[in-house]
Amino acid sequence: MKNYIVYQNENAIYYECNYSCDNAIFLKLGSESYFFTDSRYEIEAKSALEDVEVIIAKDLLAALIKVLKKSQLKRVTIDPQEWNLGSFKRLKESLPIKFSYKPFFSHKKRMIKSDLELEYLQSAVNIGKNSFRKIAKELAKRSGEDEISLSFLSESILRDYGKRALSFEPILAFSENASKPHAQPTKRALKEGDLVLLDAGVKYKRYCSDRTRTAYFDGTNLSFKKKQHFPNRTIQKAYDTLLKAHDKAIEKARSGMKAKKIDKIAREIIEKAGFGEYFVHSTGHGVGLDIHEMPYISSSSETIIEDSMVFTIEPGIYVEGEFGIRIEDMVVMRHGRAEIL
């Protein structure tokens, strides 16, 4: 059976034809493909796309409707997550077509990464790791500067001052502000004795990396290595518990296992140590063209883990107003086991 699919999400389109932009629709009619965009992207689209008809229009939906009417199709698949209500209402009312709804269709298709995708992801991870080292060195010199200015500095290093794109806006938080899992930078200054949490990633050929480290700043030295020593016993216990949960989830993950089982491995360790109520999110998520994609490593995920899936392991402990800790690595499933990228 031929696939008749309309894509609107930028990364979903890129996955299908190796080119996309912020105003495009992609239509796949079996062996025929159409890329709809406006005149701003005409030169790039026509030079980048092969075996795809590029249609330039001011009104992309009108152009799509015209092609679909001409095709006389009876059914087309869409991902309802990609469409706003107004656009879909117009599409549906203009066509005598039945729509088949497949939520997260592209994400499901992209869960198993190709060898080339794994190369790109590995490169993104390597760049991100090296950036973390550079950021640690710079932060160690800047006691007294606030989260806002140091977040900007960290972002500049991650971008290599304009040469790279980011997976997402970095999270840099000190001590009590780190108790917010997605903390916004404040005027809180870095000082001796602070806990420093950094969550950041870069893109390589559009593929994302994602990494989090939590470190102790003694006033002079700062390292994002996993071995950390905190003078506060509660924080040290929480950190050691989290590192154990992180390591065990990676060690025990297996292809053929449900994703929720991996989440359970990490969560049980945290709960047994008395920090269960402070672990407020899932253990991980898939990474690829999108920073968050399938598989989701959560307590409710029935997804069966398979070789060549890539996802994060990132348990966290957050005690409001006091501290927050997260340790995150990306892993790939190879030969039935998880390997840290």
In degrees, rounded to 5, the angle at the alpha carbon of residue 185 between the alpha carbons of residues 183 and 186 is 115
Among 57, 7, 5, CA closest to 32: 5
> Nearest Cα to 270, choosing from 299, 309, 292, 294?
299
pLDDT tens per residue, range 219-253: 999 999 999 999 999 999 999 999 999 999 999 99
Strand order in the sheet with 337-340: 293-297, 284-286, 310-313, 329-334, 337-340
Q: Could you give the CA distance from residue 194 to residue 173 in angstroms, rounded to a whole number? A: 10
Q: Does residue 235 contact residue 176 with C-beta atoms inside 8 Å?
A: no
Instruction: Give the integer Cα–Cα distance in Å for 13 and 122.
Output: 22
Domain layout of the chain by residue ranges: 4-109, 115-340
- Strand pairing partners for 208? 203
Q: Are 193 and 218 in contact (CB under 8 A)?
A: yes
2, pLDDT greater than 80: no
For domain 115-340, the question of CATH label 3.40.50.720 is answered with no
CA distance 43 to 21: 12
Handedness of CA 99, 18, 161, 134 (dihedral sign): positive
**CB distance 185 to 148 below 8 Å:** yes
Query: 293: Cβ–Cβ under 8 A, 6 or more apart, which residues?
Result: 107, 110, 111, 285, 286, 287
What is this structure's pTM?
0.95
Residue 151 φ then ψ, to 5°: -65, -40
Domain 4-109, second-level architecture: 3-Layer(aba) Sandwich (3.40)
Q: How far apart are CA 151 and CA 186, in angstroms?
A: 9
Q: Is residue 1 pLDDT above 60, yes or no?
A: no
Task: Give the strand pairing for 329-334 and 310-313.
Answer: antiparallel
**pLDDT (0 to 100) of residue 62:** 97
C-beta separation of 179 from 322 below 8 A: yes
Residue 72 pLDDT:
85
User: What tokens appear for 67 in the block?
Assistant: 């092609």
Report pLDDT digits (tens) over 16-60. 999 999 999 999 998 899 999 999 999 999 999 999 999 999 999
List, for residues 274-327, the tens digit of each pLDDT value.
999 999 999 999 999 999 999 999 999 999 999 999 999 999 999 999 999 999
Distance (Å, rounded) from C-alpha 19 to C-alpha 233?
52
